[in-house]
């Protein structure tokens, strides 16, 4: 693996950094405070190719790889981790359709997803089946040429718009993980409704709701792939999703580190700037080292996933755990270096800390990441 980025990759990263600086960072605190989901801004990102980063170009995708995606999502998260993370989830849903859907399904749904004219939500987690995803209970009963869905999904990012798409994992048989299928449910379907927008610690600029199916009728033609491979599709999607969320953690951590360096060069105590105190210099150095180590690990895992390496799933789990833990600790350390000012909204540090905390939970908790790694070590 060559760690020198090509000119094309540098250009892609710089494009995303410019977008984050000009379109996300100036509004991030206001969006967080007002719980505003900036759909128009998402579509501006999509116009630059970020609505279908690794979707094939015959349906409007950018046709890029996972390392390219890692660069893009890290860059976007320097402006707002919340918005970067939602764009990541949207891309994960689109990838499932692109990778496992029929050509008819791809041509029908993906152009609108790549432009983000339609937004997508990933519906796996349930109230009683969080980490144990194979135990999900939402059912899809066959009724002629339709499925009738009954059940509820929990913690669904982006949910609530009746014009969007919901990529749903539902049980079509009682055969454990092999009884799960993937079904695309259009917003506005009869029997589809939503819970209230959850009040959260962070990620306030994207809605999070329960998605409720009450005898929701969906054509069988909306099933992605054959019956029974839904769990495989869900887990395959999460490999890339974990890399993206790790990248978002690094972008938020980089922004926090940059803020800390600037603040320490300006703030004076005992007649010197904070940056002149060696103990604080060492703290900055440790933060920068941890950030670079996590970034290197992330690139290694993305490289493996691009090449469909046999150890890609394990490396994605490792990188997600390592990078999201490191990202949160770096942001938290940046808050500490700001002292009391770090606790204030105006400086933007406390928002980054709140946003990055959930990255250690979603796309599989970091405890589950350890389980994936451990099973590979002990052969169970």
DSSP 8-class letter at 128 = T
Strand partners, 247: none
* Spatial contact of 170 and 181, defined as CB atoms under 8 Å apart: yes
Show the CA angle centred on residue 271, arms to residues 268 and 274, nearest 5°: 35
Q: Which of 74, 126, 350, 363 is labelled catalytic?
A: 363
List, in order, residues 6 or more apart from 70 with CB less than 8 Å away.
243, 244, 246, 247, 298, 299, 302
CA distances from 216 to 140, 167, 190, 223, 302 (A): 9, 14, 6, 14, 37
Handedness of CA 216, 231, 248, 210 (dihedral sign): positive
For the chain, the residue count is 380
CB atoms within 10 A of CB 285: 10
At 19, give phi and psi (nearest 5°): -65, -45
Interatomic CA distance for residues 74 and 80, integer angstroms: 10
Q: Is 208 helix (H, G, I), strand (E, B) or coil?
A: strand
Smallest CA-to-CA distance from 205 within 84, 320, 305 is with 84
Active site residue 198: no
**DSSP H stretches of helix in 81-219:** 81-100, 103-114
Strand partners, 169: 182
Interatomic CA distance for residues 319 and 96, integer angstroms: 21
List, in order, residues 6 or more apart from 102 with CB less than 8 Å away.
none
Q: Is 55 helix (H, G, I), strand (E, B) or coil?
A: coil
Smallest CA-to-CA distance from 364 within 239, 208, 265, 254 is with 239
Per-residue burial over 122-140, b if 16 or more Cβ lie within 10 Å, else e, is: bbbbbeebbeebeebebbb
Positions marked catalytic: 363
């Amino acid at each position: 693996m060559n760690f020198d980025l090509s000119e094309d990759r540098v250009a892609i990263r710089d494009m995303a950094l410019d977008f984050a600086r000009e379109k996300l960072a100036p509004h991030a605190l206001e969006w967080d405070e007002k719980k505003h989901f900036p759909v128009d801004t998402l579509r501006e990102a999509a116009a630059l190719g970020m609505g279908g980063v690794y979707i094939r170009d015959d349906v409007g995708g950018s046709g890029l790889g996972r390392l390219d995606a890692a660069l893009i999502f890290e860059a976007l998260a320097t402006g707002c981790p919340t918005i970067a993370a939602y764009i990541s989830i949207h891309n994960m849903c689109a990838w499932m359709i692109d990778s496992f859907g029929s050509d008819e399904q791809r041509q029908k749904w993906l152009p609108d997803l790549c432009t983000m004219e339609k937004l997508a939500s990933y519906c796996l987690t349930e109230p009683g089946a969080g980490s144990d995803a194979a135990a999900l209970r939402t059912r899809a009963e066959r009724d002629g040429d339709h499925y009738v869905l009954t059940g509820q999904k929990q913690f669904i990012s982006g949910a609530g718009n009746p014009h969007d798409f919901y990529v749903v994992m539902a049980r079509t048989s009682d055969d454990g993980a092999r009884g799960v299928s993937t079904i695309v449910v259009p917003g506005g379907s009869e029997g589809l409704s939503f819970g209230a927008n959850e009040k959260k610690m962070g990620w306030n600029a994207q809605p999070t709701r329960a998605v409720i199916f009450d005898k929701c009728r969906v054509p069988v033609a909306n099933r992605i792939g054959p019956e029974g491979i839904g769990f495989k599709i869900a887990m395959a999607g999460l490999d890339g999703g974990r890399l993206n969320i790790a990248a978002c953690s690094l972008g938020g951590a980089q922004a926090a580190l940059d803020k800390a360096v600037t603040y320490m060069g300006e703030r004076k105590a005992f007649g010197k700037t904070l940056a002149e105190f060696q103990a604080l210099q060492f703290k900055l150095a440790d933060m920068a080292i941890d950030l670079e180590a996590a970034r290197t690990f992330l690139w290694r895992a993305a490289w493996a996933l691009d090449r469909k390496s046999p150890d890609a799933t394990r490396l994605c789990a490792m990188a997600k755990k390592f990078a999201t833990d490191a990202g949160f600790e770096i942001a938290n350390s940046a808050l500490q270096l700001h002292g009391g000012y770090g606790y204030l909204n105006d400086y933007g540090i406390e928002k980054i800390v709140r946003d990055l905390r959930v990255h250690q939970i979603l796309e599989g908790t970091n405890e589950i990441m350890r389980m994936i790694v451990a099973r590979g070590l002990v052969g169970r």
